Structure 1
Amino acid sequence: MNPEEVPQLIAQIALADPRVKRENEFERRAQVLMWAGILADVPYDYAIKAAHEHYAQSVWPILPADIATRWTATVRDRMNRHTDPTPLADPEDEAAWRAELLATRTAVITGQTAPAPLLELTAAPEAEVQERLNRNGQYMPTRIGEQIAQYRPVRAERERLARAGQPDPLDVRCDWCRAPAGEPCRQGKNLARRRSSHPSRIEAAAARQNQEPTP
């Protein structure tokens, strides 16, 4: 969000909650600077929508952290459902390759493009995974894959398990939290995504792999 958009955002919110807007000139400038810093990565339209959702559920004044937290959760959800498509740029042209990849990810994050579905390329025993990779080609240059792994932890972990020939918990439904196959386990009243799968799901994935015929 541009700093110039922050006063308009606060004015829009004040139509529903006058408590948000500061009357003192000094406090008003300080408020704009504070909100602009916290909401620098949040699109204006999303901030308005987040304010609507906040006041539909709460009588408390909204804080910039409320909007920023919602945005962070939305970005995380979109990227966990996204599989980076292979850029059309030449893999040897690293600058172009990375630029195209970044543009695609930015479009998904901002909602301009829907997340690309998981193609299940690596959801198979190790030998079959390698055969698919050999047939379809490298998904992305290894070095770049390692660099962006921290931004796509779910996908990176699934690839690691597939290459190691280990059972992937996300291949099966979780009977504990009811998370469907392909979705991380959840916990708490807010159904936040867990960093690790529930033990029963891990056991179910191992049992399924043991039942599959060896290629």
Structure 2
Amino acid sequence: MDRREIAALLAYIGRLDPRTIRTDPGEARDQLAQWHELLGDVPMATPHGWDARVAVRQHVRLSAYQILPSDIGRPWEKYRRDRLGRHSDPTPSVDPDDQAAWTAELVGTRRAVALGISQPVQARGITSGRREVDPELEARLREVGSCIPAAARATLAPWRTARVAREAAVAQGKLDALSVRCEWCQAQPGEPCSRRRVGADGGARGNAPLASPHPSRLDLAAAQQDQAASQPSMA
């Protein structure tokens, strides 16, 4: 607030609480200077929810004490903290390699939110259901067969032995053991089996991944495959 806004605010306070009125010109001038020094960075009102006059009315209505600049400064700081706490920085529109411009846009966005000029940007929540996929992207994935290039898959093969074996089995029409949960090592569907070592107290002491699934997992996958194959004929 500038000096004219501070003067208008003091006049408004005087109408609600005559105890704040200063009739001596020197005292009025000192009061104006003091309030401007303490509330110069506090706006009179913002487009989104802040109004210093509301803070004044709240204090006069709820407190028997004469209002002080801090009784307006505290609600303003709470207002700023609340808005920044609900704000998630959106990705700046500038070149990310331009660090100065990137930082300046982030700072400008946060300042606008804190000052009540713009609304906080909240992070988008994870929604259930299938998302809409770009038709061009879907067609491209069907064309290449995978989002991982063939050369990258070949390079990663030595470190993805279980997945490579699974993909080879599925390609040859063999049983996909990783499609079911392993009852022995508790591996979830899609995860490789692990070598589980149990200590004397019954707790697990190791969890090294295995290149091949446990026999019980193979049996369970075969049983489920047979069950799925027999359902159409039964119908």
Query: What per-residue deviation string (whole Å, max 9, x for no partner) do you get for residues 63-83 of structure 1?
Result: 101100111111111111111
* Structure 1 equivalent of residue 145 of structure 2: none
How far 1:10 sits from its partner (Å)?
0.2
Matches within 5 A, 1:110-189: 110-119=115-124
For 1:88, which of 86, 89, 93 is the aligned residue? Answer: 93
AA of the residue aligned to 2:121: A
How far 1:34 sits from its partner (Å)?
0.9
* Structure 2 equivalent of residue 32 of structure 1: 32
Q: TM-score, normalised by structure 1?
A: 0.52
Identity of aligned residues (%): 42
RMSD (Å) for aligned C-alpha atoms = 1.9
Distance in 2 (CA, whole Å) between partners of 1:100 and 1:50 is 31
Larger relative contact order (Cα-Cα within 8 Å, sequence gap ≥ 6): 1
Gaps of 5+ in 2: 46-50, 127-235
Distance in 2 (CA, whole Å) between partners of 1:3 and 1:15 is 19
Aligned residues: 121
* Structure 1 equivalent of residue 4 of structure 2: 4
Segment of structure 1 superposing worse, 43-52 or 6-15: 43-52
Distance in 1 (CA, whole Å) between partners of 2:103 and 2:21 is 42
AA of the residue aligned to 2:66: P
* Structure 2 equivalent of residue 99 of structure 1: 104
SS in 2 for 1:63: coil
Q: Which has the larger radius of gyration?
A: 2
Distance in 1 (CA, whole Å) between partners of 2:38 and 2:73 is 7
SS in 2 for 1:41: coil
Matches within 5 A, 1:192-207: none
* Structure 2 equivalent of residue 49 of structure 1: 54
Q: TM-score, normalised by structure 2?
A: 0.48
Query: What per-residue deviation string (whole Å, max 9, x for no partner) do you get for residues 56-115 of structure 1?
Result: 322322110110011111111111111111111112223322332222112211223221
Gaps of 5+ in 1: 122-215
Distance in 2 (CA, whole Å) between partners of 1:10 and 1:113 is 28
